[in-house]
Amino acid sequence: MAHIQHPRDASSSVHALLRRIVAIEPGEALAAMGSFATFALVLGGYYLIRPVRENFSAEATSDQRQLWFLLVFLVMLAAVPAFGWLVARFSRAWILPALYAAFVAIMLGFWIALRAGAGPELSGAFFVFGSVFNLFVVSLFWILMSDLYDSAQAKRLYGFIAAGGTTGAVLGPILASGLVPIVGQENLLLVAGLALLAAAALSVWLRRRVLPATLAKNNVAEAPPTLRSLVSGAERVVRDPYLLRIALYVLIANLLSTFFYLEQSRLAGATILDATERVQFFAERDLITSVLTVLVQVALTGRIMSRLGIGAAASVLPALTLAGLALYAAMPELHVVAGIMVAERVAAFALSNPATKVLYTAVGVDERYKAQNFIDTVVYRGGDALSGAVFNGLTKAMGWPLAAVAVASIPLAGAWLWMASGFDKALRQRQENAR
């Protein structure tokens, strides 16, 4: 196994400090710190533009939001295979900085257009861009990490590097909330662009100063999905009850969480009339979510999964959604919906996502790669698009009040909870069949 050699660390004290929090070996301190900082900049940049995207969603009509979700799904279907094709055919040394620079150029274009005055089409275009942006910048970052570190190093360092992303997810909303009253929402795009350019520059430095001439042979991350792998993944999910169960869990999660997202957008647009205040509101919700997620990940995730099982961890999100639907039906207010959204996102990030990742460990490598890519892209974004169509159809075409939609969704949430509670049994059966 190839093991990369790093330049001499700038200070032995930095290495000594890092050894207190991560199992770092001599010569790895600069690489680890650079990787941590790069991921912090990537996610910090995303969380700077996310409240702007949410503000546009709050200003839109329900028909516009439904169309935007559909466009996100269609753009993602086209962009994911194209992304895989690019990464497979061009040098990884330059594809990350080149694509990051392209994203910055797009943000600069949006900044110019927003300064001239945003219309519905521009708002929709930015919503689609913001929704797709995160998928690619994060994927590119982990492709870089797979080139820098071999498997043994990844096991020791990836937790620390991932904490860099969490740091960015906390600092991004703080900056957005503090800066937007001073500079305005459109100028947050410039700050996010600077963060992404800094991440691109760090990626170049990491490759030139850290990566040897020969890349690590045992890359940790799989290649990006292609159209062929997505189609193959769809076939495997449909034919395999175990994978189909995971896909249905993800689909229902997005279907019901998008209901709360759409309602939060509607209520925020009707309740908070000033655009700057709305951006601050969404940034504060993101900050609360990020902080609570870290606390749950550190204090509860491991304990729940090891002592109570995967099913218990996966059941928290549907249980919260079930309670949230009943609470919303009784009190359809902005802060109630916002509280439900925060609780759902914390449960998703800290419990549901790790639980589903464990479920994939009982699946073969090739099967896991193709099925997981299909579920994480097509099923995930498909749930968003389907949710908008279903809830708009119920409220507009059939004239249902939103409280009735919430009550009617409770049985689906109950079925989702029952499905999640059986994950431990399904995992054991899958492992026994594989022996």
Q: What is the pLDDT of residue 201?
A: 94
**Mind listing the pLDDT tens digit of every residue in the chain (435 residues)?**
344 444 444 445 655 666 666 666 767 778 888 999 999 999 999 999 999 999 999 999 888 998 999 999 999 888 888 887 887 777 777 888 999 999 999 999 999 998 887 677 889 999 999 998 988 888 888 888 877 877 677 767 777 888 888 899 999 999 999 999 999 889 999 999 999 999 999 999 988 876 553 344 444 455 677 777 778 888 999 999 999 999 999 999 999 999 999 999 999 999 999 999 999 999 999 999 999 998 998 788 888 988 899 999 999 999 999 999 999 999 999 999 999 999 999 999 989 988 988 898 888 877 777 888 889 888 988 888 888 888 888 888 788 888 899 999 999 999 999 999 999 999 999 988 876
Helix (H, G, I), strand (E, B) or coil at 150: coil
| Integer Cα distance of 147 and 202 in angstroms | 14
Q: What is the DSSP letter of 222?
A: P
In order of 11, 51, 123, 386, 407, the CA distances from 69 in angstroms are 49, 17, 13, 8, 23
In order of 20, 40, 152, 169, 353, the CA distances from 44 in angstroms are 25, 6, 28, 5, 21
Sign (positive or negative) of CA dihedral 400, 406, 408, 413? positive
Helix (H, G, I), strand (E, B) or coil at 387: helix
| Integer Cα distance of 246 and 224 in angstroms | 21
Q: What is the pLDDT of residue 327?
A: 96
Q: Could you identify the residue written with the tokens 């290495």?
A: 15
Q: What is the DSSP letter of 352?
A: I
Q: What is the pLDDT of residue 57?
A: 93
Cβ-based burial of 188 (10 A; exposed 0-12, middle 13-18, buried ≥19): buried
Q: Where are the alpha helices (DSSP H) in 331-395?
A: 334-347, 353-359, 365-374, 380-392
Q: What is the DSSP letter of 24?
A: -
